[in-house]
Structures are given as structure tokens and as C-alpha cells.
Amino acid sequence: MLGGVPVIYGINPFDTETVPSHQLGSIGVSPDSRKFRYAEVGETALVAGNLLQSAAEATDSQALAVAAAAIGDLTITTTTTLTVTANEFENGFVCVTVTPGLGNVYRIKSHPAATTGTLVITLYDPIEVALTTDSRIDMVHNPFANVIQWPATETGTPVGVAFIAAAANTYTWVQTGGVASVLQEGATAVGAQVYASTGTAGAVIDDPAIATGAVGTAVTGIASGENGAIFLRLD
């Protein structure tokens, strides 16, 4: 059964933790109504005011063949071999990409390690449409696990803006809504829509021809190379 995403009101967005106290992706709302998501920092410390992305796409965990699975089953077994660490995709998702089951998404509860082997994936929710050997799945990391600076050449999806310079391998709040200070590539006029830059790591730009992923709207004019006020609409 699906449950609601936890919402925590009155958070202190300056908090960092070495042990998580909330579910990844939990929504946090500051006293002034800015919106945040609880995230795990990757192997590199964050830079305050930089745009962030999800962990890099794992292409070797896509288009996986599976064994048949009946309605109500709580596991999916791949027949394609792959290499993963134990629970690497915990709280991530299985997306069924080829029918039967096309379009269904299941949250991953756990899985063992595998070294060029098949994998048994345990789910939170039961299979809704039976899978067959014709079905194919993608395994997708939780977007808020191991977040990194948005690279000049994107390898994931925008998930938020670093509110503080959180250390590597910690847990913190990343901003997804409301006024944020964000690095800008190129001069931007007040009211302009801004996008994730494909030229400067961690930055946004107002030219959709050389960008990807809408991020928000400029609250003020912003000079190139500076941080400026962006009203985020990532969430």
C-alpha cells in the first residue's frame, strides 16, 4: 500500500547529520515556507548555491530481463546478470519498461550484492500486473541518494540546490522551492525562466537552447558568474 511522503514543518535547513533521521526524499518546510528535500550527499562535499543532480545514471541496470512474477509477489528476479553492491538501490525504484506490466513502478525495499550475477529484488508493494520473461525493467536509484553537483554534461536529473556546504557522505536538506541563491551562467533578467546549464557545473542559465531541465524564475537581474535570487520550482 502506498503511503504519504513525510512532511516535516519548521525544519532548520542548516542541519547536517551522519546518521539519517528522516526518509530520503522527505519534504521539509522552513518557517518562511521555503521547500526542501532530505538528501544524502555523495562522495564530494556540496557547494552552497550550486544546482544538484541525482546520482549518475546506471545504464548497466537498465533493460533487464526478468523471471516470471505473479500478481501479489513481493520479489522480482532478474535473469540478466549485473553487478551491484548490497542495497545500492534501496528506496529506489523498479520501472517496468516492456510489457507485460508496462508502466508500473515499484519501490525497492532491499536486495543483496551481485557480481555479474542475477538479482532478487524485494519490493515494498506487491506486483500489480504479472511479469513474464518478455517483461523488461530498469532499476533506478532514489533521486535523493548520493546527490552531486550538477555537471556541465548532465548524467542525471536536477533535484535541488545546495543550501549549505554539506560534507561528503552526510545527510542534509536541499532546497527545491521558494527563493534560493543560485549560481548563474550568463546575465539573466528579472522574471526570466532559468534552466540547468549545460556549460557551467552547478549553474543555471536563461537560454533553453543550451540548457536542460527547467529550474525556476529569476527574482532579480543577475550578473554572469554570480549567485542570484531564483524562485525554485523543482518540486
For residue 197, what is its C-alpha cell? 546549464
pLDDT of residue 69: 98
CA gap 64, 121 in Å, rounded: 12
Residues ≥6 apart with Cβ < 8 Å to 78? 64, 65, 66, 67, 118, 119, 121, 137
Contact present, 7 and 173 (Cβ < 8 Å):
no
Residue bearing cell 554539506: 166
> Which DSSP helix (H) or strand (E) runs through 186?
none
Bridge partners of 160, per DSSP, are 52
Helix (H, G, I), strand (E, B) or coil at 168: coil
Confidence at residue 2, expressed as pLDDT on a 0 to 100 scale: 46
pLDDT value for 210: 76
Tell me whether strands 27-29 and 7-9 are parallel, antiparallel or unpaired: parallel
Q: Take residue 226 and report the three cell numbers written for it.
A: 554570480
Using CA atoms, how far apart are residues 34 and 28, in angstroms rounded to an integer? 8
Q: What is the pTM of this model?
A: 0.92
What single-letter amino acid sits at 166?
A
Instruction: Decide: 202 and 50 in contact? Cβ < 8 Å.
Output: yes
SS3 138: strand
C-alpha cell at 185: 551562467
Per-residue pLDDT tens, the chain, 235 aa: give them.
445 668 999 999 999 999 999 999 999 999 999 999 999 999 999 999 999 999 999 999 999 999 999 999 999 999 999 999 999 999 999 999 999 999 999 999 999 999 999 999 999 999 999 999 999 999 999 999 999 999 999 999 999 999 999 999 999 999 999 999 999 999 999 999 999 999 999 999 998 887 788 999 999 999 999 999 999 999 8
Contacts of 128 (CB under 8 A, 6+ apart): 71, 101, 104
